A and B are shown apart, each in its own frame.
Chain A
Amino acid sequence: MTESESQFAVLRPSAESLHHLAAIIESSGDAIVSVGLDGAITSWNPAAESIYGFSSEEAIGRSIGTVLSPERETQLSTVMSDPERGRSLSDGSGSPDATDIRSLMRRVRKGERIPPYVVLQRRKNGDEIAVSIGIAPLVDLDGELIGAVLVIRDVTERRRLEASLRDARDRLQAVINHAPIILTALDMEGRFTLLEGKGLEAAGRRPGALIGHSFFELLQDRPDVLALYRRAFAGEAARGRGEFRGVVVDVRVQPLWDEHGVQTGVIAVALDISEQAEAQAHRDRLLTEEQRARTDAESANRLKDEFLSIAAHELKTPITGMKLYVDMMARGFALEQPDFVSQAVPVLSGYFARLERLVDDLLGLSRLSLGRLEFRTQRLDLGELLRAVVERMGAVTPDHDLRIESTPALVEADPDRIEQALVNLVSNAVKFSPDGGSIQIRLGIERSAAVVAVQDWGVGIPEERQAQIFERFYRAHEGTAHDYSGMGVGLYLSREIVRRHGGAMWFESDWGRGSTFSFSLPLATPREGGVRR
């Protein structure tokens, strides 16, 4: 055996091991391709055939550059320089500088190994595939470089999976970034490990800004929130509501466990429910308003029923008196007792006046509430009207001394309505001076207004009831020892009448000492033509 033979025997693989090796290459899932120094393909295993679609007959002998990158350099370099599409799926450290297989082959011929890198290529049928290619120099038994071996793996599917994972992750991130939530994760020491979500904006925080900071320090002034998280740290899911800088959140806190069941922290999702909370508050407000409106309507209804019953009673009292007196006359009382007539006439006149007043007030009230209180205004002397009213009323109030001080005062007014207001004030003064006495009625001029004051020295108005005195249906003496008749309409109506004449009504009163009710009416402007002539 020669030395070279013995060397050959030592180094040359046995036929068995060669066969073994060939079987491995044949059954490999990776394409294993060898090329000669000229770049021509010298071997092409079945995996290469299935990846690229070229049979070994088609591939062997052709330049590796034309088979592996039929689109040539431009195509490949475009792919490689496109950072998105050409992003290497390997760790990147072994990325080739050059972009086409020929320049890589030149580097391999210098003895360099090209670690696996990922490129996009095309199959024979034009389909795009992503492949990972690693290239190693091929030397013969003497250590002479005779070509290169390429190990090529089809990573199209893996790449698609990774892309879809990346997509899913990006979508999730986008959702978190745009959802009105705050996603928080804390480790067991209470430090932030995650802080994301659009809800942070409203809370004035940036995503990730607090990573590593202590949650407990940050929220030490919010014991309600801390209690919620403590429950989660204790291994229990918790839910609550919190408010931060006007943002209302619904918080769910869950313990976080690793695969061995050891708690590693907590995770919390805070959902911004400010809008719902606002909407709920709005609904609550509407409901409250509606309830109040209903209560108001109910109490208005009750007030109306009460008023009707009082009004009926008020009307019945004079009617009772009138009926009795008229019936007595019919039965001849006047004949038997001659002074009966002189007693009955003022009583009947008084009852008539009372009925008239009640009916006027009821009509006025109804017109007012229907918005149909109309005035037939004319120029008149208020002093004259006042004297006429006082004279008429004096006749039916024998127990009271009506005193009048007046001056001529021209006003533009509806005489019937102003009389109604006057009669109301004077009859109130009479009614609330049950022990008789004098009633003082004064008319004076103050600035450009006629001012009427009706003063009595009667029971007065309790101080705590004075504020409501002009309210419709309000009876200031109801329930007191001076609860005389009345519908609670007179003052309300009188003030409305005066106001609609451009005047005002007011009063002063001392409980137990009497009242003074006053009103003003603007004086009529002098008639220009009339003054000169």
Chain B
Amino acid sequence: MSTVLVVDDEEPIRKAVALVLRDAGYRVLSAGDGAEALARLDEEWPALILLDMRMPGMDGWTFARELRARHTRAVPIVVLTAARDARERAEEIQADGFLSKPFDVQGLIDTVEQHATP
């Protein structure tokens, strides 16, 4: 069972994503900002990180930088963004993919299936 780390400051969205992914058979960890996410990584290494970019506290850009500074081990990242240029956002932090907000249940499941390392 693959683990997915969901990083988003919107609690209802975190909850919904977790519900959907658990229902799809994933183990889900969640964090409200970058700093919390880094702490989770010390506990468990996920198969994929779903990362919101604009967050109070440590934002997505800083998190990606910190992640690479602290860990040599690779982990796929999919950016969750409401930005029009979602692809550009993903490229900014060398993410593996992006999921544009708003997204639906199927889009979420497909994206996670595509990027989560087995």
Contact = CB atoms under 8 A, between A and B. Distances in A.
A324 to B, nearest CB: 5
Chain B interface SS verdict (over half): loop
Contact of A325 (B12, B54, B57, B103): B12
A10 interface: no
A484 B9 CA distance: 9
Given A331-B105, A333-B23, A324 B17 contact: yes
A350 B82 CA distance: 19
Interface in A121-179: none
B105 A320 contact: no
A286 interface: no
Residue among A321, A333, A336 facing the most chain B CB atoms (10 A cut-off)? A321
Contacts of A322: 102
B102 A481 contact: no
Given A328-B105, A347-B12, A483-B56, A320 B82 contact: yes
Contacts of B108: 324
Nearest to A324: B16
Interface in A73-99: none
B20 interface: yes
A448 interface: no
A484 to B, nearest CB: 6
B20 A328 contact: yes
B103 A320 contact: yes
A320 B13 CA distance: 8
A337 B101 contact: no
Q: Please classify how large the interface on chain A is, using the bins under 10, 10 to 19, 20 to 34, 35 or more.
A: 20 to 34
A379 interface: no
Interface string B73-97: 0000000001110000000000000
Contacts of B84: 312
B42 interface: no
B103 A323 contact: yes
B16 A482 contact: no
A329 to B, nearest CB: 10
Contacts of A333: 19, 23
Interface in B42-76: 54, 56-57
A317 interface: yes
Interface in A250-304: none
Contacts of A321: 10, 12-13, 16
Nearest to A347: B12
Nearest to B13: A321
Interface string A300-323: 000000000000110011011111
A324 B107 CA distance: 10
B104 interface: yes
A243 interface: no
Contact of B101 (A316, A331, A484): A316
Interface string A317-349: 101111111011001010011001001000100
Contact of B56 (A312, A320, A484): A484
Interface of B: 9-10, 12-13, 15-17, 19-20, 23, 54, 56-57, 82-84, 101-105, 108
29 contacts: A312-B82, A316-B82, A316-B102, A317-B10, A317-B101, A319-B102, A320-B10, A320-B13, A320-B82, A320-B101, A320-B103, A321-B16, A323-B102, A323-B103, A324-B13, A324-B17, A324-B20, A324-B105, A324-B108, A325-B16, A327-B104, A327-B105, A328-B16, A331-B105, A343-B15, A347-B12, A351-B12, A481-B57, A484-B56
Interface of A: 312-313, 316-317, 319-325, 327-328, 331, 333, 336-337, 340, 343, 347, 350-351, 477, 480-484
Given A321-B13, A324-B102, A481-B57, 6 more contacts: A313-B54, A313-B82, A320-B103, A328-B16, A481-B56, A482-B56
